[in-house]
Structure 1
Amino acid sequence: MHSLIKRQLKKHLSDELQNNKEIANFLDAVDKSYENYDEKLSMMHRASTISSKELYEANQRLKEEADQQKNILNSLMEAIHSLTENLNEEQLFDHEKLNEFNAAYLAENISNLASKVSDMTAEKDKLLVSLEVQNQSLNNYAQMVSHDLKSPIRNINALMNWIMEDEKEKFSTNSKENCTLISQNLEKMDKLITGILNHATLGQTEELKVSFDLTETLKEIENTIFVPEHIVFEYADNLPNMYFERDRLEQLFMNLFTNAVTATEHVEKGIISIGYEHDEVYWKFSVTDNGKGIAKKHQDGLFQMFKKLETDNNATGIGLAIVKKIVVLYEGEVWLTSTENEGTTFYITLKKNS
């Protein structure tokens, strides 16, 4: 018992009662009831503190879970809205329910959209199979037509040359010129058919990668095509050793070189420069000439099939389309800068690990 309480009790007791044994026992009992009071009070305080802390932590966890559920709901809502827009579906959600976590309602709409996506995927797979079959048929058709057309064209050209040799003394000047034009047009038709076939079959066969020195390869291409004496090729010192599909790269540069030679035929001293820029992801090349350049109005669509310069009557309009297709095949880009009467630069990037 607290000493102050004990003293207050004794003040109101007579001497006789204070010395009474029963009163003494009563006061001892009261005193014992106060034993460990402070300790118990401290324990209750600690227990109350611990309970409050646990409640606070539980509330924090509940708040975090509620926020997480809200974020998941918002993400699902955004995904469904995106799907409805891409599928051209009508609005599936009631705006009044956007802030409510209605799991059944959400699940129903997700199920509906998933079913539509599944149907679209199945339809897409069917279309891809059909497209593959059609492409194979077109490629077979292109090869067959090319063979059937090229054979008589070459025969006609050979016959024209024989006639010219046997009957040239009998032909007038105009007839000789007309025969020459016929031969030129037959040669152009042969090139056109070859170009169409190359474009149609490009990328249809797998080609093994090999290691090669690019400078040596480009010089071999230079020796393969006709290059007038007044045109020179200049190769950058840092052209790399490559591990790549060599035949396709040769096809790409063959077309660019041929274009550059044609562009510089009229220049007193034509210069064609091949540059290289190091990059970790892409092979980056440039082919620059100091030729006639390309007018701005002719640059749009220059990489499309049969697109050619109005002034170039001998071109087939397929070379740059093949360049574009090869570049796309290797996840790269091709573009140009050009100024009339100053020259043109073609820029090419090809992904190294495509």
Structure 2
Amino acid sequence: MAIGYFDPDRIELDWAPEALSLFFLVVGLAPFFLNSWCRKYYGYIVFAALTIFANYLIITSALNQFHLSYLLGTYVVLFGGILLLTHRIWIILYTFSSFIHLFLKLGLSNVSFSDKGAVLLSLATIFVFSMFIQNGFIRYKYKLRKQNMDLETMVKQRTKALERRARELSVKNRELEEFAYVVSHDIKSPLRNVHSLGTWILEDMNDGRLEQGKVNLQLLMDQVAQMDMLVDGILKYSLGIEKKTVTALLDLNEVVDGLIRANNSDKVIIEKDSSLPRLLVDRTQMLQVFQNLIQNAIKYNDKPIAYINVGVMDEVDRFTFYVQDNGMGIAKEHFDRIFKLFQKLEEDKRKDSSGIGLAVVKKILAKNGGEIWLESEAGKGTTFFFSFLKEDVLFNFGNKKPQKESLAYSEVP
């Protein structure tokens, strides 16, 4: 149009300017009306439009004997087209087709040989510089795209880390809330024992039984030490700051024997059916497990005398422990419910029940790779079983000759 204004004698293809103007108008407005379709195919449309327009300008330049004004317009379009295209294959097709077309038109024209050489040289120079610039743009674009992808990956990783941290904090907050309940639950039994032992000591002192008083005083001191160990262990466990890095074998007979001495009475008879092994387990956690199971057996016993048996079954790949009582029993439909926190089956207020003990036992065992289950018959009693894989709680398990120390049992007194 601009060239036509300054050169009214130019030669044009019939209706070509009008057709091209309409074509470019459609191309420009297409994204506003065919958004989803253009998002997928618009690059091809732009490539086709630029190729058509460049070749039209080459034809017009040839019709006007490669006048300088037409050549400049052709150079501008070719240079701009190379910069607009983004894919290398499109740039190569666009450049090669335009160069071949111009070369053929020059060969068929009446332009002097020197002018032909000047046109081709100038066109080649434009192509070379355009390619250099475009390569820089493409490299920058790929670099920018890579940086964006890296940034998106980093943001996703940070987001996942924050979500994971939020979940961890939520768990920690919930465990802190449970901590007070667990402490109050597990400390009540030693406190009751301290109270009873204190009463016995007073009676012994009043009756002049000094030796028996010393024995009871030692038992009282043992209960105080047990409470201190329980509070410290429960706190570390609830906060999750105590890692399972047990390196020494624990004699479970010592743990259970202490509980038997503290809980045996005229109405409670606790016996070991077998000697217990020495295992790689945490003392505080095992004390909580056995104490909760034994206290449950005492608390929920409706017989005149509560008989409780503790033992272990040495199986091929695991140790299975049990605590058996002759109490009231548990209905089968409640087997899963009793292991949930704050779930109680007995609503009798005389029972010191908070619905915590068995939930704590299950949590401790699960954290150490163990499992717990029960067998029960209403009116006849309940047996709680829990097991550890030997590979988790013994040194060198799996060797042909296990270390004697790992499998050592203490004698049943």
TM bucket (normalised to shorter chain) is 0.3 to 0.5
Q: TM-score, normalised by structure 1?
A: 0.46
Q: TM-score, normalised by structure 2?
A: 0.40
